[in-house]
């Protein structure tokens, strides 16, 4: 199944293309670490059970708020690779509407080539982070 990049939010499409250009797994990991390092500082106060992503081996936290109808995510993880996956999602999804986020399917991970490099528990973690972000986007929409 080939994914149409047009169906993705522009920022996410750009990230997918960036990963497609990184031919070998090592380069993709380096890119993930780069994203992790770019992630803004996450407030300690937000590291609460309500913001914790369930089903992840590492500690992952995500918050979502609405700014002018667009979702703004923040997050953190104690694992660099997981933090990279989280940062990739945050960068790719920030500034989109809750509806756009809820309609997305996580297939784009295959387009990045990362799915072949991820261990089963990391791939599962990615899905859990993605699902949590969708849930939080939906909550933002319901609260507005």
Name the DSSP class of 39: S
Q: What is the pLDDT of residues 14-43, one digit of tens each?
A: 999 999 998 888 999 999 999 999 999 999
Residues identified as active-site? 56
- CATH code for the domain of 84: 3.90.1010.10
What domain range includes position 16?
A: 5-143
* Predicted structure pTM score: 0.93
CA angle 130, 80, 88 (to 5 degrees): 40
Structure tokens at 80: 């660099």
- Dihedral (Cα; 139, 140, 142, 144), 10-degree rounding: 160
Look at the alpha carbons of 16, 19, 35, 123 in this order and tell me if their dihedral is positive or negative. Answer: positive
Structural domain tally of the chain?
A: 1
Q: What is the pLDDT of residues 40-53, one digit of tens each?
A: 999 999 999 999 99
Instruction: Give the end-to-end CA distance of the chain in Å, rounded to a whole number.
Output: 36
CA angle 74, 76, 80 (to 5 degrees): 135
CA angle 128, 71, 74 (to 5 degrees): 60
């Amino acid at each position: 199944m080939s994914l149409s990049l047009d169906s993705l939010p522009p920022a996410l499409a750009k990230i997918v293309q960036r990963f497609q250009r990184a031919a070998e797994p090592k380069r993709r990991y380096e890119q993930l670490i780069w994203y992790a390092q770019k992630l803004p500082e996450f407030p300690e106060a937000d590291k609460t059970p309500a913001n914790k992503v369930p089903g992840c081996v590492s500690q992952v936290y995500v918050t979502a708020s609405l700014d002018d109808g667009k979702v703004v995510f923040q997050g953190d993880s104690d694992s660099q690779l997981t933090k990279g996956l989280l940062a990739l999602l945050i960068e790719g999804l920030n500034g989109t509407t809750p509806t756009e986020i809820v309609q997305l399917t996580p297939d784009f991970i295959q387009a990045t080539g990362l799915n072949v490099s991820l261990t089963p528990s990391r791939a599962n973690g990615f899905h859990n982070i993605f699902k949590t972000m969708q849930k939080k986007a939906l909550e933002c929409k319901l609260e507005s």
